[in-house]
């Protein structure tokens, strides 16, 4: 049991020293750390907002391009349908050629 007693006393002393150090240095370090972390956090948030806005713009532009392509494809299909429609009307009803 002597082995556990020495280990326990050492851990208690270490824990006590850390606690006292934190109590003394805490009020000094917290404002310093906050003054460093706050601008970094704001910069990260600003970057995220800008990235989000750029992403929305890119998605909107992509959507416009896709809409234009779909409209062009539909116009070409309609034109092809109009061109082939008179040919199908000229064929005999039985589908046989004379």
| pLDDT, tens digit, 9 for 90 and up, residues 75-84 | 999 999 898 8
Total domains, the chain: 1
Q: Using the predicted structure, report yes or no on whether residue 2 has a pLDDT greater than 80.
A: no
Q: Using the predicted structure, report yes or no on whether residue 3 has a pLDDT greater than 50.
A: no
Tokens read off for 17? 């020293």
Q: Which pLDDT belongs to residue 91?
A: 61
Answer whether residue 54 is part of any domain: yes
Q: Using the predicted structure, report yes or no on whether residue 94 has a pLDDT greater than 60.
A: no
Answer whether residue 43 is part of any domain: yes
H and E: helices and strands count for the chain:
1, 0
Which distant-in-sequence residues (6+ apart) come within 8 Å of 83 by Cβ? none
Answer whether residue 49 is part of any domain: yes
Dihedral in degrees, nearest 10, Cα atoms 89, 94, 96, 98? -80
Answer whether residue 14 is part of any domain: no
Answer whether residue 75 is part of any domain: yes
Which distant-in-sequence residues (6+ apart) come within 8 Å of 98 by Cβ? 92
Answer whether residue 93 is part of any domain: no
pLDDT single digits (tens) 66-76? 999 999 999 99
**φ, ψ at 97 (rounded to 5°):** -95, 145
The residue segments making up the domain with residue 43 are 34-87
Q: Which pLDDT belongs to residue 98?
A: 46
């Amino acid at each position: 049991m002597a082995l556990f007693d020495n280990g326990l006393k050492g851990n208690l002393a270490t824990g006590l020293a850390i606690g006292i150090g934190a109590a003394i240095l805490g009020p000094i370090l917290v404002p310093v750390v906050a003054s460093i972390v706050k601008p970094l956090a704001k910069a990260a948030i600003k970057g995220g907002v800008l990235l989000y806005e750029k992403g929305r713009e890119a998605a909107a532009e992509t959507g416009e391009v896709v809409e234009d392509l779909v409209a062009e494809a539909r116009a070409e299909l309609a034109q092809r349908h109009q061109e082939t429609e008179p040919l199908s009307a000229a064929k005999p009803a039985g589908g046989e050629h004379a």
